[in-house]
Homo-oligomer: A and B are copies of this chain.
Amino acid sequence: MKKKTSLKDIAAVVGVSTALVSYVLNNKKEGRIRKEVAEKIRQVALKLDYHPNQIAKSLKTNRTNTLGLIVADISNPFSSALARIIEDEAERQGYTVIYGSSDENATKCGRLIETLLNRQVDGLIIFPPEGTEDQIKRLKKRQIPFVLVDRYFPGIDTNYVSLDNYAASFAASQHLVEVGRKRIGMITYKSSLVHLLERKRGYLGALKHSGRNFRKHLLKEVSISNDVVEIETAVRSMLSSTGRADAILFGSNRIAATALKYISSLPVLVPQQLALVGFDESEIFDFFRSPLTFIRQPLAEMGRIATCMVIEQPGTQKKTRQVQLAAELIIRQSSATE
């Protein structure tokens, strides 16, 4: 790379100090600098194609105007949709974003946090994986501005933006009850992450509320690694047992994708024999033989609020803010009344 032109170069040409150049180019001491000098400086800056070195500026000001984003996996549509919203909102406020994928792995998340912090990001937006409580506590203690998205830890008082997963899951299950389903099942992740626990709790709550019995074999918890065989096995056993499911709620769009592919290959009628509801959105929901009923998360709002929270957060730790957003149940053919 060719050497870039610096304040010093401009100062040398014009015959003033770098300080003066800095003032002029940042419009700092408006009017208090001689017109001709200011004009000359601007001209030379243009001619030498000057572009400020943000790194140097950051070292001095201790602000990088950079946000660190740690998602589960940038190639997952849920993550990348949020990444796009965060990018746009960050740009609007003059920030750029560095990203990393945790793969739901606590160790990798820890490494990522360290890397981003070493790069002096002004704040962190994190989808925390299971087992990262200590990392989050440490961030708090170090007074790093950050906000948790999608999930959070009830035991730690932090900023977060999340869906009201309990209500969303309750509403979806309730809907299945209302369309006359008797044996409603759920496939979700085996995890201690609160958003997933809430989804399970919402499902159980709705069953109880409507006097349905909870049947152990209709609640399947699969590994968060999204193992295809495990999900197919779960579907198969829910549909083969004596009290076979007549409805299934999927705990995530990844689970739904795998399960739907498998169900497509089975001789089961949707929704007649089996009603289905998905969590999150996915283009494939439109292409399943009966377009899927699903729980829509307000991603735009979620991303925007998270970005604003972490940027606005003042140097001095004010009190934390928790936001729970409401989901919307989009009812379509896969859960139509029989």
A interface residue numbers (CB < 8 A to B): 1-2, 51-56, 58-59, 64, 66, 73-77, 79-81, 83-84, 87, 91, 96-101, 114-120, 142-145, 257, 260-261, 264, 282-284, 286-289, 315
Given A55-B120, A96-B98, A260-B287: A2 and B143 within 8 A (CB)?
yes
Contact B51 A55 (CB under 8 A): no
Which residue on chain B has the smallest CB distance to residue A283?
B284
A2 to B64, CA, bound (A): 16
8 Å CB contact of A119 from B77, B80, B96, B261: B96
Contact A55 B58 (CB under 8 A): yes
Tell me, rounded to whole Å, the shortest Cβ–Cβ distance linking A58 to chain B. 5
17 other A-B residue contacts (CB within 8 Å) besides A1-B144, A75-B83, A80-B80: A1-B145, A1-B315, A52-B118, A53-B120, A55-B64, A55-B120, A66-B98, A74-B84, A83-B99, A87-B100, A96-B98, A96-B100, A96-B115, A96-B116, A98-B98, A261-B286, A284-B284
Contact A75 B81 (CB under 8 A): yes
Which residues from chain B contact A77 at a C-beta distance below 8 Å?
75, 77, 80
Tell me, rounded to whole Å, the shortest Cβ–Cβ distance linking A287 to chain B. 4
Contact A98 B101 (CB under 8 A): no
